[in-house]
Amino acid sequence: MNRTAVAIRHLAFEGIGSFEPVLRDGGYRFRYHDVGLDGFERLDGEDPDLMIVLGGPIGAYEDVKYPFLKDEIALIERRLQSGRPIIGICLGAQLMARAMGARVYPGPVKEIGFAPLTLTRAGRASCVQAFAGHEVLHWHGDIVDLPAGAECMASTDACPVQAFSYGSRAIGFQFHPEAGMADFERWLIGHTIEITAAGLDVPTLRNEHRRLATGLAARGASCLESWLQGIA
C-alpha cells in the first residue's frame, strides 16, 4: 500500500535532499507544499502519513511580517496532538517548538557551516547516532528552548538544542540532516546576503561541502531510515 508524504517548503531551493531517495524506496508518494503559493487549508483535509516541515530564512516568531505562520503553527499543533509522524528541520523545528509552547529567539551567533554535534545519551540511542563524530551542516541564527515533554538529543556550544524528540513520532532538527545533495550551489546563491553579512567565504563553504557531501548524504539517509523504522 502506498504511503504519502508532504514537505512544507518555504524556499524553492531548500528541499528534502538526501531524504528523497529514502522516501521513494520506502514506497511513499511524495509532494511539496509551497508556502506562499499553496494554502494550508489543503493540508487540513489531506492528512499525509508523514509531514516534513522544512527550513527558511525567516523567524518562527515573525507573525506580523508573515501572517501565514499562525496557520502553519496551528497545523503543526494539530499534527502533534494527533500523534501522526512529523519531522521539523531548522525553521520547521522552531515552528514545532512554538507549537509546543517553547520560546524561539536569536542565538548568540549565527551558525553557518560545517561542524560536529555533541550527542546526549538519548541522542546516542536514537536515529541521531548516525551523525556521531561527524560534521553536519548548520545554517541558522535562532535557537529554541527545549519544549515541555520533549527530549534533547544533540547540542553545540552555540545551540543547546540541536535536535529534540517528542515521543517516537515527532522529531526536530536545528541542523540540516538532509544535506549532502548536489543542489548546495543553490544555497550559496540564494543565501549570498546572509553569507556575506556573517563574514563567511563562499568558495570555502563550497569546498567544504564537496569534501563532506557523500558522507553527509549517506548519514542523512541512514538517520531517516532509522527513524522511519522506529515509527513503523
Q: So which residues are the catalytic ones?
A: 90, 176, 178
Compute the CA torsion angle 140, 210, 223, 103 (nearest 10 deg). 0
pLDDT value at residue 44? 76
Dist. CA 219–CA 213, nearest whole Å? 10
pLDDT value at residue 230? 95
Dist. CA 122–CA 185, nearest whole Å? 34
Q: Give Cα separations from 80 to 57, 102, 162, 190, 213 (angstroms).
A: 23, 14, 19, 31, 32
Domain holding 227, by residue range, is 3-231
Domain of residue 26, CATH code = 3.40.50.880
Average pLDDT by stretches of 10, the chain with 232 residues: 92 96 95 92 86 97 96 96 97 98 97 98 98 97 98 98 97 97 94 95 97 97 97 88
Q: Based on the structure, what is the number of domains in the chain?
A: 1
pTM of the model: 0.96
Strands 151-155 and 118-119: antiparallel
pLDDT value at residue 166? 98
pLDDT value at residue 149? 97
Q: Give Cα separations from 195 to 28, 85, 111 (angstroms).
A: 35, 33, 11
